[in-house]
A and B are shown apart, each in its own frame.
Chain A
């Protein structure tokens, strides 16, 4: 998927003014947050499970080369193929080659965030392949030519009416002539259309929630059963996965699965947890003839090598965005790429480059809720602060901001001057706010005072008040 360059603030302003988006987001946020809280409160062991989950991920990342090699060995032993892709282009090229060799015309996809990260659909469509997303949410955003706005609930931004219009426009070709508004009817249309697609598909592409080194399996979790049909009915099953998805054993995966469902949806487990290992075995009545895994780096080794290694613990549950006041105000599209919210604000600059996402690390109040709810304890606020620092060092901060912060820093390191200027500042503000005790307009802060008044300072400066209280100092 193409990254939308720059200008988070413009997209955020548009999102705030979009009444329909605001309604959809606010309808859902209470549900997610409350459900997770209930699931966590029901488990006295939860905190210890979180520690264990983070420890498994850290151990795996510390030995990632070992576990990837072991994983590869097991996949090959089971008759599968493993491909290594250093970046998005290489990954797309590998998948396209597999499709070409298979003489493929049609592709059905289960949900895979990394496939969106590498722009796989566009690459396959450019080769003339029909590509259909099978997860109902992904199907809807694909039909609407939009991007998902949440990594777990891609359609958070769309109302039932939006979807009714969309299906009315596109599904007449499939014999659905009425404009339906009942969610069950709308999903029934998707079920019926996709049923044929699964059977016709040459290639089934899924992501992986986990790759298991012990058995060479990939694990996906779904509630719909779409990824499971995708990986079973197509002639060729291709798994696209980031290199950080590997875990040592099935038991390690079990620990992380407990955290994933609770953090993502507030449930103990999703309807389906499916482990796929190699192609169909001799005598099997179904399953693919070929099984391929594309292991994708695309900036991950860079994170692995430095201070951003904890970000690779991420299991893509979406809890950080569900608890983020910024995400909950502006929705996912404002972030401009595949990964929104706090995890996206770290991943997007790390994968796509600072210059493409310079505003994202600043779209954060550092309130720390994301870290509190993260099932693998990623210190997201620290990483965002670190990104701000790196951006400053690399000169990606706008000159006006640099100049302002530089002036502030200079003033703050000259105490005498600081005291004099704050005293003057307080006096001036008091003078202007004399009549009402409020200031309705401030220079350089018109945006802020447009929506609220600034209270005029009461009394003296902090330094003066402090000195008066503690005369001995």
Chain B
């Protein structure tokens, strides 16, 4: 069915742009362009990359807390939990499973749930230009944990903060072979202004995003 439809459509596009007249050299140029670094102008990033990253993240309403090492993660999460009598019920990305979560907590290791009070996940990069956090999906990092919780807690190594998104792609590729199914660049809590132009948080995603910036 679709083969001839595809070919016809592509042929019309090729004719419209004169693609038939492309020389071997033109093609080589196009191939080359696909692998060249970007030369486009972009906003300047301060020499204090980490300082700018934190300031921009906070301007995006992401709360930022510094921890000395991953061993401090569980106490940091404990401090974020509301002081109720019920035992905590959270979801944790498999990447962070081994960190010694208290036995009396309910800890779901895996994908997000319909009702999700809090999730704890691991980012692959931070972007200083915009104060954004980059998440990649893989078996140890389910995407739903980024969108279903009321409170999204993200762990990021300070050494993974880069200047630009253009620098972050390499970090996305570094974790595992190939490009992942999902990359989420998160720059604040979920919000909408679709009712009366008034900003409301949250819309469909987390009400708050808390970043634990890890310095080891």
Closest chain B residue, CB of each to CB of A82: B6
Closest chain B residue, CB of each to CB of A214: B34
The reply on B197 being an interface residue by CB < 8 A is yes
Given contacts A52-B40, A153-B193, A254-B166, contact A84 B143 (CB under 8 A): no
Residues in B neighbouring A410, C-beta threshold 8 A: none
Closest chain B residue, CB of each to CB of A50: B41
A 44-64 binary contact with B (CB < 8 Å = 1; else 0): 010011001000100101111
The reply on B71 being an interface residue by CB < 8 A is no
The reply on B30 being an interface residue by CB < 8 A is yes
Residues in B neighbouring A13, C-beta threshold 8 A: none
Closest chain A residue, CB of each to CB of B39: A52
Residues in B neighbouring A85, C-beta threshold 8 A: 5, 9
A 147-158 binary contact with B (CB < 8 Å = 1; else 0): 000000111100
Closest chain B residue, CB of each to CB of A31: B197
Q: Is the CB of B34 within 8 A of A232?
A: no
B 197-216 binary contact with A (CB < 8 Å = 1; else 0): 11010111110000000000
- Interface size class of chain A, counting residues whose CB lies under 8 Å from the partner chain: 35 or more
Q: Is the CB of A226 within 8 A of B204?
A: yes
Residues in B neighbouring A183, C-beta threshold 8 A: 195-196, 198, 200
Residue of B94, B129, B188, B197 with most chain A CB atoms under a 10 A cut-off: B197
The reply on A268 being an interface residue by CB < 8 A is yes
Query: Nearest chain A CB to B3's CB is how many angstroms away?
Result: 10
Residues in A neighbouring B33, C-beta threshold 8 A: 59, 248-249
The reply on A191 being an interface residue by CB < 8 A is yes
Residues in B neighbouring A226, C-beta threshold 8 A: 203-204
Q: Is the CB of A213 within 8 A of B34?
A: yes
Bound complex: CA A78 to CA B137 (Å):
14
Closest chain B residue, CB of each to CB of A279: B181
Bound complex: CA A411 to CA B14 (Å):
47
Q: Is the CB of B195 within 8 A of A186?
A: yes
B 1-26 binary contact with A (CB < 8 Å = 1; else 0): 01001101110111111010010000
Bound complex: CA A284 to CA B140 (Å):
8
Query: Nearest chain B CB to A161's CB is how many angstroms away?
Result: 9
The reply on B106 being an interface residue by CB < 8 A is no
B 151-183 binary contact with A (CB < 8 Å = 1; else 0): 000000000000011100100000000011111
The reply on A37 being an interface residue by CB < 8 A is no
Given contacts A225-B190, A254-B165, A271-B188, contact A233 B144 (CB under 8 A): yes
Query: Nearest chain A CB to B137's CB is how many angstroms away?
Result: 6
Residues in A neighbouring B138, C-beta threshold 8 A: 281, 283-284
The stretch that binds B, out of A65-73, A379-387, A390-398, is A65-73
Contact of B182 among A199, A225, A249, A276 (CB under 8 A): A276
The reply on B38 being an interface residue by CB < 8 A is yes
Contact of B204 among A90, A186, A191 (CB under 8 A): A191
Q: Is the CB of B41 within 8 A of A49?
A: yes
Q: Is the CB of B184 within 8 A of A90?
A: no
The stretch that binds A, out of B46-54, B79-87, B96-104, B109-117, is B109-117
Bound complex: CA A59 to CA B32 (Å):
14
Q: Is the CB of B192 within 8 A of A86?
A: no
Given contacts A63-B19, A254-B164, A301-B12, contact A137 B185 (CB under 8 A): no
Q: Is the CB of A225 within 8 A of B205?
A: yes
The reply on B130 being an interface residue by CB < 8 A is yes
Closest chain A residue, CB of each to CB of B199: A183
Residues in A neighbouring B182, C-beta threshold 8 A: 231-232, 274-277, 287
Q: Is the CB of A65 within 8 A of B181?
A: no
Closest chain A residue, CB of each to CB of B135: A274
The reply on A2 being an interface residue by CB < 8 A is no
Q: Is the CB of B139 within 8 A of A215?
A: no
Contact of B190 among A61, A63, A213, A271 (CB under 8 A): A271
Bound complex: CA A258 to CA B56 (Å):
15
Bound complex: CA A28 to CA B199 (Å):
12
- Interface size class of chain B, counting residues whose CB lies under 8 Å from the partner chain: 35 or more
Residues in A neighbouring B43, C-beta threshold 8 A: 43, 45, 258
A 257-279 binary contact with B (CB < 8 Å = 1; else 0): 11000000000111111111111
The reply on A194 being an interface residue by CB < 8 A is yes
Bound complex: CA A291 to CA B44 (Å):
37
Q: Is the CB of B114 within 8 A of A195?
A: yes
Residues in B neighbouring A257, C-beta threshold 8 A: 165
Q: Is the CB of A228 within 8 A of B147?
A: yes
Q: Is the CB of B142 within 8 A of A70?
A: no
Contact of B196 among A163, A194, A216, A229 (CB under 8 A): A163
The reply on A280 being an interface residue by CB < 8 A is yes
Q: Is the CB of A301 within 8 A of B13?
A: yes
Bound complex: CA A287 to CA B182 (Å):
8
The reply on B78 being an interface residue by CB < 8 A is no
The reply on B125 being an interface residue by CB < 8 A is no
Q: Is the CB of A160 within 8 A of B142?
A: no
The reply on A286 being an interface residue by CB < 8 A is yes
Contact of B191 among A45, A159, A216, A224 (CB under 8 A): A224
Residues in B neighbouring A236, C-beta threshold 8 A: none
Q: Is the CB of A224 within 8 A of B192?
A: yes
Contact of B111 among A48, A215, A243, A285 (CB under 8 A): A285
Bound complex: CA A284 to CA B56 (Å):
31
Query: Nearest chain B CB to A11's CB is how many angstroms away?
Result: 23
Closest chain A residue, CB of each to CB of B7: A84
Residues in A neighbouring B19, C-beta threshold 8 A: 63-66
Bound complex: CA A52 to CA B42 (Å):
10
Residues in B neighbouring A68, C-beta threshold 8 A: 10, 13
Query: Nearest chain A CB to B92's CB is how many angstroms away?
Result: 12
Q: Is the CB of B180 within 8 A of A277?
A: yes
Contact of A275 among B5, B17, B183 (CB under 8 A): B183
Query: Nearest chain B CB to A115's CB is how many angstroms away?
Result: 18
The reply on A314 being an interface residue by CB < 8 A is no
The reply on A140 being an interface residue by CB < 8 A is yes
Kindly list 12 other residue pairs between chains A and B, CB separation below 8 angstroms, not including A186-B195, A225-B190, A228-B205. Answer: A65-B19, A66-B30, A83-B2, A160-B196, A183-B198, A187-B200, A224-B205, A251-B37, A254-B166, A277-B180, A281-B137, A285-B110
Name 17 A/B residue pairs within 8 A (Cβ), A-sorted: A43-B43, A63-B22, A70-B34, A187-B194, A195-B114, A216-B179, A225-B205, A229-B204, A232-B143, A250-B169, A251-B37, A255-B42, A269-B130, A271-B191, A272-B186, A284-B139, A297-B12
